[in-house]
Structure 1
């Protein structure tokens, strides 16, 4: 676990863990609907059930609750974008699959909502910068870099700096999702133009790094 990310505090009982997950569900919806500043732990607990004292015990404060919500979102993102066995595919199949999975996730209204929330709150909550960067590194950048390194070990890619190549590719894909994020996401998924741009970016990446 990164030094910038608190350890996940699971409840000691099954019932308590279900309540913790309920708090995270309600908190996520409240932050998306009302913003961070306009949401209180007390309001979240009223909706989710339980006690305010338990919420503070689990998350520390409202900022800790937001970080826990983000941890859960990024964990879910990693599971959907990098499923087991994907790094073992030939790179010409693996990278388009990763790219389209990441694009599809990034243009959802939920992902767009979190993106806009973080843009809006980042200035007021500068301490979020480090845990957010750590989450991006842990859940997106590191798995993508490992996929590139796996392809390189198989002789399918020749990359002088896989870490920077992974960062460049991630930024390319984020750029394709940018328009969707500004307008609140796309409930129907990526447009045909989004997908065409995604495939073009991957083809250019492969032309650059394939031997």
Structure 2
């Protein structure tokens, strides 16, 4: 789990109780937004669900929009932790790294709550171009750049020949786009683990061969 959750608020809580209240607002707002939609939920609804006061909510997040952005930041950081789960960051095994990335990415986008929140983010982004730019920069762009750095490192260490790490990172992560679209449109996604494992392994093998894996 993400530590120091109080950093997602505008004003850092000074007590343990304040930290717990801040987290309660995040959790309550997430639940209500997913159940009813962003526009149908008021700050009064969130306070009634979470407890506390509207003054505290304003203090921590400034506004309903600020609260939603804080939720996005919080869920993004959880996702980044999940993305590297089951991989030792000190390891130099690029094949293992790529396999873990795709496996965890697939698991994330096929979780119902995650895909529902992604739909909510896309809906909000339509109405706020500044929010859209922020979410893209802190989400997809951040992940692509992080993978590109890993590919650049592997190239410097003679494991790969990757002249354009950023383009390669985009191409690699794009191999799951059809699963993500299926999930976004509410279509059934295969739960056959052998089929998924074979597809991921094929993708990794093909990618490494194209980059002259040593």
Taking the aligned partners of 1:87 and 1:101, their CA distance within structure 2 comes to 18
Secondary structure of the 1:123 match is helix
Give CA deviations for 1:51-84 in whole Å, capped at 9, x if unaligned.
1111111111111111100101010011111246
Equivalent residue, structure 1, for 2:130: 127
TM-aligned CA deviation for residue 38 of structure 1: 1.0
Coordinate RMSD, CA, aligned:
2.4
What TM-score, normalized by structure 2, do the two folds share? 0.84
Residue matched to 1:152: 155
Whether the 8 Å CA contact 2:84–2:100 is kept in 1: the answer is no
Higher CA-based Rg: 2
**Which residue does the alignment assign to 1:28?**
30
1:92 aligns with 2:124: no
Q: Which residue of 1 aligns with 2:183?
A: 180
Matched, 1:170 2:173: yes
TM-score where L is the length of structure 1: 0.85
Shift, 1:191, TM fit: 5.4
Distance 1:62 1:111, change over 3 A: same
Between the two proteins, the alignment pairs up a number of residues equal to 204
The answer (yes or no) to whether the contact 2:160–2:211 under 8 Å persists in 1 is yes
Structure-to-structure mapping, 1:104-143, within 5 angstroms: 104-137=107-140, 139-143=142-146
Aligned CA distance change for structure 1 residues 85 and 143 (closer, same or farther; 3 Å): farther
Which ranges of structure 2 fall in alignment gaps of 5 or more residues? Answer: 1-6
